[in-house]
Structure 1
Amino acid sequence: MAAKTIYQLLINEEDARACRDIPDSACTKVPKNFMVVLFSQILLSLGDSLTSPKTVLTWLMTVVGAPPAMVALLVPIRESGSMLPQLAIGAWVRRYAIRKTFWITGSIIQGSCVLAMAFAVSHLRGAAAGSAIIGLLILFSLGRGLCSVAMKDVQGKTVPKGQRGQLIGIAGTVSGVLTLLVSFWLVAQEPNILWVYLVLLIVAGLLWFSAAALFSQVQEKPGETDGGVNALQQAWQNLSLLKTDLHFRQFVICRALLLGSALVTPFLVLLAQQQHNTGQTLGWFLASASLASAISTFIWGKAADRSSRNVIIIAAGLALLGCGLLVVLHMMLQEVALVVYLLLFLLLSIGHAGVRVGRKTYLLDMASGNKRTDYVSVSNSVIGVLLLIVGAVSSAIAWWSLLAVLWFFFATSLAGLLYAFKLLDVSNAS
């Protein structure tokens, strides 16, 4: 009863009565499932923030004396490592009628890897510590990819259309507020002391285990299965969706062009670190990221349920503005105040949060059943490959000129914004 009351408070009355795009037999379970998925996502998002490769893991690698070349691998490994295997993972997962078990398994894998990182950095230094972190991050990414495929399918079966964006938005806002509190604590600490990171890693690991236990309470109805199809064979066949499905292909192209909304921020942090290498810099950037999540994702989620396409367009515009301002500042000023970097980071984080909420809701609303699983696995695997390519290209450009890489992301963001107008509005489709 408590879950139903909170659910009705969070979801407006008209949406709470709706039961779009899920089986009729699952309608009575919506309030409980909504709350279970919501709190699981909050725990997961908080764990992600406390182990962010852009901030926390980067500083941790510096503290343990890992080589800079290893630091450069963190973001590509975490992001692409969770996406690349999804083509095969998706074909494997779709053979099972109940899929929440895969999310639980993925969450346990992530929690175990994070706790193992804490153990490794407490005993190792230098390249050995860096290698341990990277090796565990690869395994962590596989668990993350398993969660990604399973979550979208389970959420699509348990949360009605018109409420999915709100769920993503509420989870992002709450986890953002909690991360903001942690970041204020971090500002008061000395980030070069190892025990600070051990606390963050241990807490994050326990969050993933708690999320796994909570998610086991989801009441999921059996879904479609394909029988004994070979996973890799099915994965190869699923790639044909990029050729045969126009709207899906347009979505993947748009998503690829908007990769800059995430990849440009490490370069912003690098510029800020070069000019403002103080002990509290990490805390302030973590605070800025969490503030962006807290103030924007709920709004993005509500808007995405009306039109995820429009959210992608608006968020892409904000990301483009942030890239443009960063280019102008880098061209015109020798030194930029830390508060300006933080405000730009905030703007880019808000834009990226909108892109993420918009594309997640868009993909959920595009299809149902196994087709949704195929969409998720194919798009994430393709984006994983492109992420490695774009990361390599941007790194090569940055080696030549940091200004050139900023122009590169400005150009891709502009192309992504223009391409977003081609997307079909799927949120209002029946």
Structure 2
Amino acid sequence: MTVADRAFDALTDESRAEAQDITEAARGAEAGNFLRHGAALSLSKLADGLIDPKLVLAWLMGALGAPAALTGLLVPVREAGALVPQLFTAARIRAMGRRKWAWAFGAAGQGAAALVILGAALLLEGWAAGVVIVGALAVLAVARSVCSVSYKDVLGKTVDKPRRGTVTGFAASVASAGVLLFAGVLMLGGLERFQLVAGAIALAGAAWLGAAWIFATIAEEDRPGNAEGEATGLGQLALLREDADLRRFVLARVLLLPTALAPPYLVMLAGQAGDDRWGALGAMLAASALAGLVSGWIWGRLSDRSSRLVLAISGAVAAGFLAAAVILQGAMGTAWAAPLVLFGLMVSYRGVRIGRSTYLVNLAPEERRASYTAVANTTVGVALLGGGAFGVLASVTGPGVVLAVFAVVAAGGAGLAFAMKEV
């Protein structure tokens, strides 16, 4: 038995099971592929955490004196750029015999964009720095969209159904440990923060380049997708009309978006109550990373049993913690309330991410996984753009009302997920 086989056995419970959803040839290479997926995805997720636009890049823009108008573009550019283009790239990626090259190219593109951001941080300031950083982030987001639309297809070809959630959950936990370490260094305050942030961005770029190299070594069978007679571009949206299960999944995913949108409003609520510690860069990263560290592996294992239930449970957990934030508004300035709610919310966010990925891979027919992924992600990307309206609502009514709305929406998403077909 090889070292890869022993590691594979240690991380999974069904390493000797017969192939269920991959070919026998792919089953023979699954142990090595599983570890390569885990390593590449861990590096990619670590880079994501180190260059988080909501926290790290926003802090960097402020340190460089970039205008608030440009800082406000970071999250919309990152989210929309990563999701919306997928509708137009899916057909080309589906036609590739080995789609691992698309993911490797996308990871390398993210690494290069991260290094451009680093250059802007070291050499520019003010408007110039802001424009270059936002532009590089747009390139990074588009490269990420290539990774997103190709990854599920490669995963579906190279790792069998009972172990897909396990490998993504494992990667999430490993990456969270790395981000947690970075957050701890930031909170200690022993080193100059700008140098730490610049070093983290450099490490993110190197991690993406390393992930690209590892992913390129995956043993993937050469099986071009059959696009004959299939729609491309906007025509792929017809899948939402044709497949009721996909339609329900997309709607559930949209209703579960509060798990991603709520953290800034939670921090705002805590600040109004007199506690701004959880708005600090290190503390926010620590809460997010710790949640991923303790929950990623568990969510991954559970999603291999029922990704539908993982989505439902995650939505219910999010609704509960968001409701708690509203009920505890007066106590959010205490030392325990904001950290507890933020941690619970990020645990639910990790569950939604892992559950939705596993569910979509298992729901989509093999030859149409890229299209299913593109349609789902593009639709959700458009919905995310509309999420900016909640900022206007918060400015009028306060963050408590927004969090109450999010709690109701998340509860609806949990209910819809529970009613989805088991895959």
Q: Distance in 2 between matches of 1:341 and 1:92?
A: 45
The residue aligned with 1:24 is 24
Provide Cα deviations, 1:204-251, integer angstroms capped at 9, x if missing partner: 100000101111110000224236889xx5123321110110111000
Alignment CA distance shift 1:205-1:193 (3 Å): same
Aligned to 1:156: 156
Q: Matched residue of 1:337: which SS?
A: coil
SS in 2 for 1:364: helix
CA RMSD of the aligned region, Å? 1.9
**Counterpart-to-counterpart distance in 2, 1:280 and 1:417:** 28
The answer on 1:364 being equivalent to 2:361 is yes
Kept in 2, the 8 Å contact 1:190–1:279? The answer is no
Residue 183 (1) aligns with residue 183 (2): yes
Q: In structure 1, how many angstroms separate the alpha carbons of the residues matched to 2:289 and 2:342? A: 11
- In the alignment, does 2:387 pair up with 1:386? no
CA distance in 2, matches of 1:50, 1:172: 13
Could you tell me how far 1:369 is from its partner in structure 2? 2.0
Q: Which residue of 1 aligns with 2:238?
A: 240
Q: Does 1:143 align with 2:143?
A: yes
Stretches of structure 2 that go unaligned for 5 or more consecutive residues are: none
| Correspondence for 1:6 | 7
Moved more, 362-371 or 143-152: 362-371
Taking a change above 3 Å as real, the CA distance of residues 229 and 321 of structure 1, as seen in their structure-2 partners, is: same
Deviation digits for residues 71-112 of structure 1 (CA, Å, limit 9, x no counterpart):
222222211210000011111111111111100110011011
Would you say the 8 A contact 1:224–1:369 is kept in 2?
Answer: no
Correspondence for 1:81? 81
Q: TM-score, normalised by structure 2?
A: 0.95
- 1:404 aligned partner: 401
Q: Is the 8 A contact 1:300 1:354 kept in 2?
A: yes
* Matched position secondary structure for 2:53: coil
Q: Which of 329, 333, 338 pairs up with 1:336? A: 333
Return the alpha-carbon distance in structure 1 between the equivalents of residues 91 and 227 of structure 2: 11
Partners of 1:75 and 1:190 lie apart in 2 by 29
Alpha-carbon separation, structure 2, partners of 1:412 and 1:375: 24
What residue in structure 2 maps to residue 347 of structure 1? Answer: 344
1:42 Cα deviation from its structure 2 partner: 0.5
Give the 3-state SS of the residue equivalent to 1:33 in structure 2: helix
The DSSP-based 3-state class of the residue aligned with 1:162 is helix
Stretches (4+) displaced over 6 A: none
In 2, the alpha carbon distance for the partners of 1:400 and 1:319 equals 24
Spell out the pairing of 1:275-290 with structure 2 (5 A cutoff). 275-277=274-276, 281-290=280-289
Deviation track 1:136-186 (CA, whole Å, cap 9, x = no partner) reads: 111100010000111111000000001001111111111111221121111
Give the fraction of aligned pairs with identical amino acids, expressed as a percent. Answer: 35
Alignment of 1:10-409 (within 5 A): 10-12=11-13, 14-189=14-189, 193-226=193-226, 234-272=232-270, 275-277=274-276, 281-330=280-329, 332-333=330-331, 336-389=333-386, 391-401=387-397, 402-409=399-406
Aligned residue identity for 1:397: L
Q: Deviations over 1:311-367 (max 9, x none)?
A: 11111111101211111222x45x612442122111000001011111111001112
Shift of 1:203: 0.6
Quick check: 1:192–1:279 contact (8 Å CA) kept in 2?
no
Which amino acid counterpart does residue 396 of structure 1 have in structure 2?
Answer: V
Distance 1:327-1:377 versus aligned 2 partners, 3 A rule: same
Determine if contact 2:266/2:403 at 8 Å carries over to the other structure. Answer: no
> Partner letter of residue 282 of structure 1?
L
Alignment partners' CA distance in 1, 2:165 and 2:142: 25
CA distance in 2, matches of 1:173, 1:347: 16
Deviates more, 1:279-288 or 1:116-125: 279-288
Which of residues 413, 416, 430 in structure 1 aligns to 2:413? 416
3-state secondary structure, aligned to 2:289: helix
| Offset from partner CA, 1:243-296 (integer Å, 9 cap, x none) | 110111000000001101110012223344564445992112211111100100
Contact 2:278 2:338 in 1 (8 A): no
Counterparts of 1:182 and 1:18 in 2: how far apart (Å)?
41
